[in-house]
Chains A and B, each alone.
Chain A
């Protein structure tokens, strides 16, 4: 093993917060952190910038990295490996001014060559209610992608992920994980600024069962020619180790907490298949009993 590989492996084995300290010490911040430099990347030869053609907005721990990789593998889609899938650019403008300069900067994050399309997927955008109007202003023609997952399973995976990334074990972190699961609420907010025809909502569970068919639907929505990626069932951002414990009573309370929202979601998304969400298989309105069905434990 070469020395750089050893160092990389040793770095990966450090506790997440120690890794973060070291990265921050050399000025390396993630796009969701306060110190990130949002100066757009330098353009390569033949590249031009503009608004993204597609933007994935949700949801965290629903296979979005997997799905994004399948999209950008398409030969008509432009991607640069030095630009993160999750731009997070719009997250920072809740109370900050957002004008033409900020729109130009946002466009600067989307280089592409002639004849290709490009985009991003920032799962956090979905539950940030200030983002939809900004996105409509900066990329009014963008096609919007949303991948959803059983909200209780998503909560558990999301909270596990946040803790593994070094987030503090506080009620604020828990509340953030709960908040992201109110899909109908956030989708309704999105629909205030984008017509439903411009938004594709898919279910992670269905993508797992039928990746080829679901990817075909995604390509078609993005007006891409049909294409067969080299490997459909690749695993991206696989969670290692166990997930947080969720007491059965707490699971029941979460199901109740989401029940009305899931019912509203079924109205907003007519094709939603609730039979794929084991916590809500009997329909949201009859989900008051704790589910004893085995839970989906997908890879994200």
Chain B
């Protein structure tokens, strides 16, 4: 398929796909070469470097999906004048989707670096919503960006699970259990952070609690800027997380269900607390 045809087809409105039965949409995307970020085989086009920009490995990583404010935090950090804009932020979010089964060598590493052009003196980051929870991603990040500083967002796992389930707009044939398992799995931060520490030294990693970021956005941003070696005195335009689910929602969990979920995550939260001494469990009321 020529690049022109590809571009024309890429303009097929999503609405047309929405007219198809839900079960056929994924196949239709494949047939029309309309892969989206997260699809195996999706290729991210690198941005053309502007004059004075040079590509290279990202200087920092933000790990965490929209349910823990990962995308929001990334955009808040990008407001800092010392941070170069990432022009493929969403496109490249699932860069490693294909790498569980495919080769990842120097060529793929170079393709990754090409996504991060910046001028000297500015830093640039990569946002990975599932890099923490998909176990093949962290080793590849460590290979492609070994010196990157890593910001990890975590949240009360029961609340983040509920946010993930509420936000799931799945246009694919629903495999109920597998979709739930994916949502559940993302909340096992303890084992995921332990895995991260096998590939990045703890002093290269900052664990951020979403609740703290929401409650004191300016203070938490200043801490993140400081961690990244940026001027912490900069006062960014503070924006509330657009994905934030409403507090005190009417659909509270039944006590027995809440207890089951608590028992599912309790040991893992303890693991996380042992690795992250300043984790404030008072912000995660079920786990105090």
Contact = CB atoms under 8 A, between A and B. Distances in A.
The answer to whether A binds B is: yes
Contacts of A250: 99-104, 136
A16 B166 CA distance: 29
B130 A95 contact: no
Given A99-B256, A133-B260, A250-B99, A32 B175 contact: yes
B134 A95 contact: no
B184 A129 contact: yes
Interface stretch (B35-43, B115-123, B146-154): B35-43
A256 B165 CA distance: 31
Contacts of A48: none
A24 interface: yes
Interface of B, secondary structure class, is helix
B174 A97 contact: no
Nearest to A185: B191
Given A179-B181, A244-B101, A24 B38 contact: no
B21 to A, nearest CB: 5
B136 A95 contact: no
A91 interface: yes
Given A97-B254, A99-B256, A21 B135 contact: no
Contact of A174 (B101, B139, B263): B101
Nearest to A246: B101
A168 B172 contact: yes
B180 A179 contact: no
A39 B27 CA distance: 32
A253 B137 CA distance: 10
B256 A130 contact: no
Contacts of B26: 17, 166, 168-170
Nearest to B258: A95
Contacts of B184: 94, 128-130
A129 B185 CA distance: 9
A178 B256 contact: no
B163 to A, nearest CB: 12
Interface footprint category on A? 35 or more
A24 B22 CA distance: 10
Nearest to A23: B23
A133 B256 CA distance: 11
B217 to A, nearest CB: 29
A18 B173 CA distance: 12
Contacts of B30: 169
B248 interface: no
A151 B97 CA distance: 20
B133 interface: yes
Contact of B102 (A91, A95, A185, A247): A247
A17 B180 CA distance: 21
A168 B130 CA distance: 17
Interface string A160-180: 000000111111111110110
14 contacts: A17-B173, A88-B176, A91-B176, A92-B176, A98-B257, A130-B260, A168-B172, A170-B38, A172-B38, A179-B185, A245-B102, A246-B101, A250-B99, A250-B102
Interface of B: 21, 23-24, 26-27, 30, 38-41, 94, 96-97, 99-105, 130, 133-136, 139-140, 161-162, 165, 172-182, 184-185, 191, 253-254, 256-257, 260-261, 263-264
Interface of A: 15, 17-18, 20-21, 24, 32-34, 88, 91-92, 94-99, 124, 127-130, 133-134, 159, 166-176, 178-179, 185, 244-247, 249-250, 253-254, 256-257
